Structure 1
Amino acid sequence: MRSAPSQAALQAAAPERPVFRHRTLPVTRAALGRTYRPGCPVPPHRLRLLRMSHWGFDGKVHTGAMVVHERVAKEVLYVFGKAFAAKFPIRKMRPVSAYNGSDHASMADDNTSAFNCRQVVGNPGRLSQHAYGDAIDINTVENPYVDRTGRVHPPAGARHLDRTHRAKGVIREGDALTRAFRAVGWQWGGRWSNPDYQHFSRNGR
């Protein structure tokens, strides 16, 4: 009669549980490309490149990257560690330099990103909080921004204005992502009168 496998054998045979991995790296002026220009409020040496694990829409673990201000690096890694533990899916995560600094191109590609020295979309007279490296946009198509004129950014996000549907990557009040950001004191643009569902920032702007 064959004996039952030992606990050690069962553990050895079990698939390895994915682990949230991350690295914090310095940023060079050249690497920032068109996301930086002279006169931007944060110099390159105060920025950090975060490489981190995230779950994709395909149910697999990927490695993404984003640029943030050095002072918020630990907070951001905490948040995305919680998102990883909850298996919150992220379509892709690339610095906006991969899109030649174009926020419109990054949003249209459903990209998750942070630093970009630019003006506010739909309000070109005001510098975006992304220029300070302490704001993040997540799954931009599933979580669109409605500007003060009622225009939806990106346009493909219009179908996701109904926040009751169950599409992947949609951010909802009380989910793992909003709870994690709240725990580190960040605020969500999804609560604004002109909602910016993709946007989280340290100072609520």
Structure 2
Amino acid sequence: MIPKLPISKKKRLVIIQFLDENECKTGYVLANNIRQSSPFIGNVDYFSSSKKDEIINYISQDIPHIIREDEEVAVYIDTHGFSSCDGIGHKKDFISWDELVLAIKNAVNKLRTLPIIILTACNGISIKNTINQLDEPICSKLYAGDGIMLNGPVMGGFSRLLNESGLEFGEKELETLNEELAKRDNPPFICIDYKP
């Protein structure tokens, strides 16, 4: 059982979608739902692109300017992963684990509390190998997909992870997705705790 964090308005959720242009829809809806309904999360930021350079710049350059050092931050990255490649992306563009981890490290280095990273990508758990090579952790928890992730339960799984981590919100539509996720024998996420 993951302990709940104390209720605080100093919580920020950053949603990043690195998908083909036709796929970037769900994150925008989710961000707006949370902005309107969450009494717990003070700020919700949303960014999407189909281009690697834009995603890297957003993570390593823009995020450091929007987060405050006293915030508790969850970074949710929604993308595709591949068993044959060492990273994330889609048919037209690709980010290696090394590039992604370096960008995240630059983004969160001023935070007092290490962020939670949620990676909804097939075989996303492979990022742990790159994180484990660092001298210091870049996150307190990593939630990532193990193997192939089905599109249906991803958003439900994501909202469930936020609730388990203490970044709570009460959105009925997402609770319905959670119920669908609960029907599955194998949840699509693995959680790894990183101790500083």
Higher normalized contact order (CA 8 Å, seq sep 6+, divided by chain length)? 2
More helix by percentage: 2
Using the size of structure 1 for normalisation, the TM-score is 0.31
Larger-Rg structure = 1
